[in-house]
Amino acid sequence: MRKKVTKAIFPVAGLGTRFLPATKSVPKEIMTLVDRPLVQYAIDEAREAGIKEFIFVTSRGKTALEDYFDHAPMLEQQLKKQGKEALLAELKASNMDSGEIAYVRQHKALGLGHAVWCARRLIANEPFAVILPDDVIAAETPCLGQMIEAYEETGGNMVAAMEVPPEKASSYGVLDVAEDMGSVVRARGMVEKPELGTAPSNLAVIGRYILAPSVLRNLNRMRSGAGGEIQLTDAIAEDIANDVPVYGYRFRGQRFDCGSKAGFLQATVAFALARDDLREELASYLAEVVQLGKAAQ
């Protein structure tokens, strides 16, 4: 019987320098995409996929992130008193119960692999998920839910994968594909940020992972990889040599890189247009902007 995936690690220790000066005082993960912080999209996706324990790898200056998940009794009472039941329900959906969430500090910025390793004692000997909140995925069935369904058939390690133009492959971890089975591919290797023209495929790894505990043991060796950092992809690739299979999953949905300003803006427009209460007014405004742009040309 394969163990269920009930724990997820959220690496959120980064400084968010691409969003300065906003991130001088506000953690990037709680910057709002329409009316919800980035991290809420990740939490909602994890919950829908059956995750029960949420482990945040944080750093100094992230107390606002911790406060976001806490209960706000005075605000809840005020909304209840004013009869704002819909807002109250949304507020309560952002609460995390005691014991459901844990925080671990990453004291040095040594890379994604190191951030995941910091949570090793809370994972023990179980399969676990890793979700990068910067990667927001709009999908009918949440991406992690799709992956868990596929993982129940395959076991091993599984990473979310999407096709990227060859010239952009050097920005990602890339799969070396041994067997392509459609939505699932089996990898013979993984390369982190390959030099231009050397990528083994155009299948890039993005921020969703289901990993065997053996990956944490690989990370114990603390080997530096691309950029001088401890790379998670290197530890996953090491499992292949130890006969633990690694699969890529071509998810159904649209991924937005909210770690970049352009990606964040694109996601804001896309998610707002998907809302019944915002679509008409925003679409009208965008059409007007486009028309003005054409007139100016």
Region 142-162 average pLDDT: 94
For 113-133, letters b (16+ CB in 10 Å) and e give bbbbbbbbeebeeebbbbbbb
Q: How confident is the model at residue 141 (pLDDT cuts 50, 70, 90)?
A: very high
Can you give the pLDDT at residue 228? 64
Q: Do 148 and 50 touch, CB atoms closer than 8 A?
A: yes
Residues 186, 2: Cα–Cα separation, whole Å? 19
Residue 189: strand pairing partners: 176
Each residue's pLDDT tens digit, 178-233: 989 989 999 998 888 888 888 888 899 999 999 999 999 998 876 665 556 788 98
Residue 119's Cβ-side half-sphere holds a number of Cα atoms within 13 Å equal to 30
Q: Do 205 and 173 touch, CB atoms closer than 8 A?
A: yes
Q: Do 161 and 206 touch, CB atoms closer than 8 A?
A: yes
Can you give the pLDDT at residue 25? 81
Can you give the pLDDT at residue 222? 66
**Residue predicted with more confidence, 98 or 251:** 251
Q: How confident is the model at residue 98 (pLDDT cuts 50, 70, 90)?
A: confident
Can you give the pLDDT at residue 108? 85
Can you give the pLDDT at residue 45? 95
Mean pLDDT taken over the chain: 88
Can you give the pLDDT at residue 78? 85
Domain ranges, ordered by start, for the chain: 7-259
CATH-assigned architecture of domain 7-259: Alpha-Beta Complex (3.90)
CB atoms within 10 A of CB 193: 16
pTM: 0.88
For the chain, the first-to-last Cα distance in angstroms comes to: 64
Nearest to 245 by CA among 177, 158, 183: 158
